[in-house]
Structure 1
Amino acid sequence: MLHNRFGRLAATALAGTMLMGAAACGGSEEPTTTASPGDAATSAAPGGTGPKVGLAYDIGGRGDQSFNDAAAAGLDKAKAELGLAEAKELEAGNGETDAAKEERLRLLAQGGYNPIIAVGFAYSGPLKKVATEFPEVKFAIVDDEAATGPNISNLVFAEHEGSFLVGVAAALKSEKNHVGFVGGVEVPLIKKFEAGFAAGAKAVKSDIKVDVKYLTQPPDFAGFADPAKGKTAAEGMFDAGADVVYHAAGGSGGGVFEAAKAANGKAIGVDSDQAKTAAADLQGVIMTSMLKKVDVAVFDFLKNAAAGAPKAGTTVYDLKAGGVDYSTTGGQVDDIKAKIDEYKQKVISGEITVPKEVG
C-alpha cells in the first residue's frame, strides 16, 4: 500500500537541524524512519567506508510498488555491495513547489551527502540550480535530460520501446480487440509510454481500439499517487469493453489493478515487476509489466561514483542495452512469449522504430 507521508517543508534552519540529527545516527543500526515537517526521511547507516549517498524520491516515495521502489532497489543493492558509509532518503510532498525540492536537495548537499540522486523529471529545474551551488557534489537525475552540467548525470530510458512490447502482449491477449492506457499525468514522458503501447498493440492488430485516460494535468502531479482516480479511470475502460488495461501512473496503478480484478479483466504493470510487488490479492490480474530498470541505472551511477568516475551527461537505457523489458512472472504470457520476443528483436535490430510521440 502507499504510504501517505506528505506535508510542507519547514524553515531551512529547522529542517537542516533535523536532517543532521538523523544523519548522526550512524553505527550499525537498522534503517529507521523519522518524521520531519514535509519530508519522510529514512536514514540508513551501513557503516561502510564508501560514500554518503542522498536520494530524493518523487511523489509516492519508497513503497509505491512502482517507480520509486525501483530506485530504492538500486539503492538497496548499493548498500549491500558498495559499502556505503550512509544513505539518506527523502520524499516529495504532493503539490509542493520547486523551492521545496530545491531545499531538499540543498539540505542533502549541506549534510555532506555526495553523490545525490533525484528521482523523477519534476526535479529538473531545482537540481539544475542546486548543482551549480555545489559544484563539488555529483548529482544524478532520473528521467530528465534538461538539467545539464559538469556534475550532473542524466539517467533516461526508452520507455516507448518497453511499452511497445507490452502493447504487443495486450493485443495478443485481448479477446475483445479493445485495450486501455491509464497515464498518471499528461506530460511528454508519460506520452512516450502511451505512444509505444498503442504502436505495439496496433502492430499486432491494426484495428484494435486503444482507450486513453490521464488522471491529472501538470502542474498537478497527484495523478501519480491517487489509486482512487486510477480505479475510476480503469473501471470506465472495462465498462466500455476493454479487457486489458496498461498503466503508467505510479502509485495510482493499485487502483487500476483493483478495477481489473472486479471486472475479471487483465492489467499491465509498469516500472517494477508488479506481479511481485502489488498487494497479494491483486497480483493475479497482472499479466505482465513493462520493466523500466531504474534500479540498474541507480546502482550503475552509484558504483561509478564510488569508484570516482561518474559519467556526466546522458546515459540511455534502451531495449538493446537491457534498460527496458517485459516481465513473465506468473506465466500468463508464456504462450505468447515467442511472439513478443520476435517483435523485441525487430526493435533491437532497427527493423521496427517505435514512435516516441502519439501520432
Structure 2
Amino acid sequence: MRHKRIAIILIIIMLFTTATTFVGAQDGQEEMLISQRFSDMPDDWSTEALEKAVENGLITGSDGLIKPKDPLTRAQMATIINRAFGATNKASISNYTDVPGGAWYYEEMAKAVQMKTFLGDGNRLYPDNPITRQEAFLVLARALKIEVSSVEPSGFTDLDDIASWAKGEIYALINQGYIQGSGGKINPKQTITRAEFAQLMHNLIKTYIKEPGEYTDLPEGNVMVLVPGVAFVNTTVNGHLILGEGVDEDTVNLVNSLLTGRWIIRMQEASMKTVIGFVTDWSGLGHDNLNDMILAGLTKAKTDLNFDVRVIESDGDGDYLKDLTELAEEELELIISYGYTMADATKTAAENYPDQRFVIIDDNSIEMDNVMSISFKEHEGSFIVGVIAGLTTDTNVVGFIGGVQFALIDKFLYGYMAGVKSVNSDAEILFDYANSFTESDIGVTLATAQNNQNADVIFHAAGGTGLGVIEAAGESDFWAIGVDSDQSSLDPNHVLCSMVKRFDYAVYEAIKHVLEGSFVGGNMEYGLEEDAVGYMDGAGNVSNLIAESAELYKSKIISGEIIVPYDETTYDEFIQ
C-alpha cells in the first residue's frame, strides 16, 4: 500500500476579517514604537497588519520606510513566506539564471524553491518582478498545500483572465468562499501591495508560537507553531494548527484541549524520497525518439525539483501492463507512460491501483481520477508548418502523408491545409494515408507518387512510415517536413523543418502538478500558447522572412484572432 502521508487540508478564514491579537505581542507602548520606527507607516485599515508583520519578523522595512503602497516583488513575498513558515532548508538554485549569487534574496529564493512555493519556469524565478494577485494566491496555496478544484465558480466576470497554471488553486479558494473579489472580479493580473499582503497574512495567521512551553490562553484564529516542544493545555484552538518546517505533530501536544480546525503540517519528510517512474514504449531509449524527449523532461525536472527516477524500457505491447504493474507495486509518486499503444495497459494499471497516480503523454482516451492524460494541439503546430510550406513551394503543389486515418491524424492534416491556404490560396494540396505507422517503404512509395504530381514540399504524420517520406525526399530532391521531434538530422539537406510536440514540457508540467499537490485526473491539452507545439529548423533551411511570417501567424493563433481547424467540418468553415 502507498506510504501514508498526513492529509493536509486548508480551511482559510475569510481574507478580509478584522484583526486579532498575537500571543506574546508587545504592549501598546511598544506597538506605538513600531509605528514610530517608520515615517511612512499608514494610519488606516492596514496599520495593525503592518505592525504585526514587523513584530512577527515578516517585514523589516529599510531606511526607516515600510513602503506600504509599493508593489510586493516575488523575492519579497518569498522572504515573507519563508519567515512565516520557519523555512531553513535550501535547494540548489544554480540553474536559475536570474538569481545572482550575491543578491540579498539568493538564500531566500533557495529556501522558496526547496519549500516548492516558487518553481519558476525551469531556469528563471523572476525575483525582482512585482508579484500578481494570482501568483500570490498560488504561492499561499502551495505553502499551505491546499487541494485544487476543477469546478469553475460562478459570479465572476474575469475568470478567463486567470492563467491556466493558477486556476485550480484560485477556483478552490473561490468555491470554498475564501476569495470574495471586488465588483465581481478577481483581478488576477493586478499586482499586490506590501500593505495588502501584510493584511492577507495577518488574517490567515493570527498567532505565532516561537518559544517552546505550555500555552493556556489563545485568541481566535489560526495558530502557527514554529518550534517543537509546544503544548496547548486546557484551552481551545479556535482555528487551524499550522506546523512550520522542522515541527511535526509528535512535538506539539493538545492536553485536555480542543482544536476546532485541522492540523496543517509543512514539515518535509526527508526520509520519504520522491520517486517518479517512466515506462517507455517498444521503441526504447537512445534512438532520438519521443521516449528520449520524455526522459529529457524527466531529467530536467529531477535537477530542478529534486526527486529520483525509475525507468523501465518495455520490450513491447505484451509487457506494458507487467512493467506498469511493477512500478505501481513500488508505490511511486507518479508513473509516466506514452502514446495510444500504451493506453489500454495504463488504464488497466490505474484501475488495479486506484491510489497510484499516472500520467500518459500524447493520449486523451482515459477518463479516470488517478490518470492525467496529456494531449497536444497538433493542428496548431501543423498550421505553422503549413505556413512555411505554402511560402516555400516553387511548384505551388504541396503534400501530406498520414499514417492511419483517424481523428488525431486529421488534426495534422487540416491544420496543415489551413496554414498553407492562409498564405497561398492557390496552392494545390495532395494527401494520402498509408494505413501504417511502421512501414517506411510505403512512405517512399506515397511520397514519390506525390512528387511525381509536382509536390515539392511534403509533410508527414506517419511515425516510422514517415521515415520513408524523408528517404524519398533525398532520392527525388524535394523538401520533407518531419513530425513530433526535430528530424533534420536524418537528412539536413532535405528536411525543411519539423512540427514538434514538446513532450519534455508536458512531462515537466505534470511533475510540477504532482509535487505541488495540484494533480487532477482528466485531460489536459497544450498548444502554441504554452510553447508545447511548434516547429524546429535544426538545419537552418527556413529563411528569415518565412520564419517571421510563421511567428506572425503564431501570435495570431495565441491571441485568438485565428482559430485553427482540426477536422473536415471546421476546415470547411475556416476557408469560407
Quick check: TM above 0.5?
yes
Tell me how far 1:210 sits from its aligned partner: 1.7
Taking structure 2 as the reference length, the TM-score comes to 0.48
Tell me, yes or no, if the aligned pair for 1:120 and 1:144 is still in contact at 8 Å: yes
Superposition deviation, residue 63 in structure 1? 4.3
Q: Which of 406, 414, 420 is residue 201 of structure 1 equivalent to? A: 420
Q: Which of 396, 400, 406 pairs up with 1:177?
A: 396
Q: Which residue of 2 aligns with 1:24?
A: none
- 2:432 corresponds to which residue? 213
Would you say the 8 A contact 2:361–2:373 is kept in 1?
yes
8 Å contact from structure 2 (residues 327, 335) kept in 1: yes
The alignment partner of 2:541 has SS state of coil
Gaps of 5+ in 2: 1-270, 570-576
Structure of greater relative contact order (alpha carbons < 8 Å, 6+ residues apart): 1
Amino acid in the other structure paired with 1:215: A
Contact 1:69–1:272 under 8 Å retained in 2: no
Q: Is the 8 A contact 1:49 1:85 kept in 2?
A: no
Report the equivalent of 1:345. Answer: 555
Give a deviation string over 1:130-171, Cα, whole Å, max 9, x none.
Answer: 212112211011222331222111211110000000011001
* Residue identity in the other structure for 2:541: Q
Deviation at 1:208, TM superposition (A): 1.7
Residue of structure 2 in register with 1:243 after alignment? 456
Query: Which protein is richer in strand relative to its size?
Result: 1
Is the aligned partner of 1:71 residue 2:294?
Answer: yes
Question: Partners in 1 of 2:347 and 2:507 — Cα distance?
Answer: 19
Letter in 2 for 1:70: M
Aligned residue in 1 for 2:146: none
Alignment RMSD = 2.3
Question: For 1:170, what is the secondary structure of its paired residue?
Answer: helix
Query: Matched residue of 2:434: which SS?
Result: strand
Q: Which residue of 1 aligns with 2:466?
A: 253
Pick closer, same or farther for the CA change 1:86–1:70 going to 2, 3 Å. Answer: closer
| 239 and 64 in structure 1: CA distance in 2 versus 1, 3 angstrom threshold | farther
Structure 2: distance between partners of 1:251 and 1:60:
11
Q: Give 1 or 2 for the bigger CA radius of gyration.
A: 2
Kindly provide the CA deviation profile for residues 275-311 of structure 1, in whole angstroms up to 9, marking residues without a partner as x.
Answer: 2xx33xx122111111211110012212332444433
Aligned counterparts of 2:349 and 2:340: Cα–Cα separation in 1: 15
Equivalent pairs: percent with the same residue? 37
> Matched residues in 2 for 1:213 and 1:65: separation?
26
Question: Which residue of 2 is the match for residue 33 of structure 1?
Answer: none
CA displacement at 1:201 relative to structure 2: 0.9
Letter in 2 for 1:235: T
The size of the alignment, in residue pairs, is 298
1:71 and 1:298 in contact (8 A); partners too: yes
Q: Which residue of 2 is the match for residue 118 of structure 1?
A: 337
TM-score, with structure 1 as normaliser:
0.76
What aligned pairs does 1:1-359 form with structure 2 within 5 A after superposition?
Answer: 50-91=273-314, 93=316, 96=317, 100-216=319-435, 223-275=436-488, 278-279=489-490, 282-333=491-542, 334-359=544-569
Which ranges of structure 1 fall in alignment gaps of 5 or more residues?
A: 1-47, 217-222
Alignment partners' CA distance in 1, 2:367 and 2:325: 17
Contact 2:312 2:323 in 1 (8 A): no
- How far the C-alpha of 1:253 sits from its partner, in A, is 3.0
Please say if residues 281 and 313 of structure 2, whose CA atoms lie closer than 8 Å, have aligned partners that are also in contact.
no
Q: What does the per-residue CA deviation read over 1:226-285, in whole Å, with 9 as the maximum and x for residues that have no partner?
A: 33332222222222211011111223332221111111111111121222xx33xx1221
1:341 Cα deviation after fit: 1.8
- Counterpart of 2:493 in 1: which secondary structure? helix
Residues 374 and 506, structure 2, Cα contact 8 Å, conserved in 1: yes
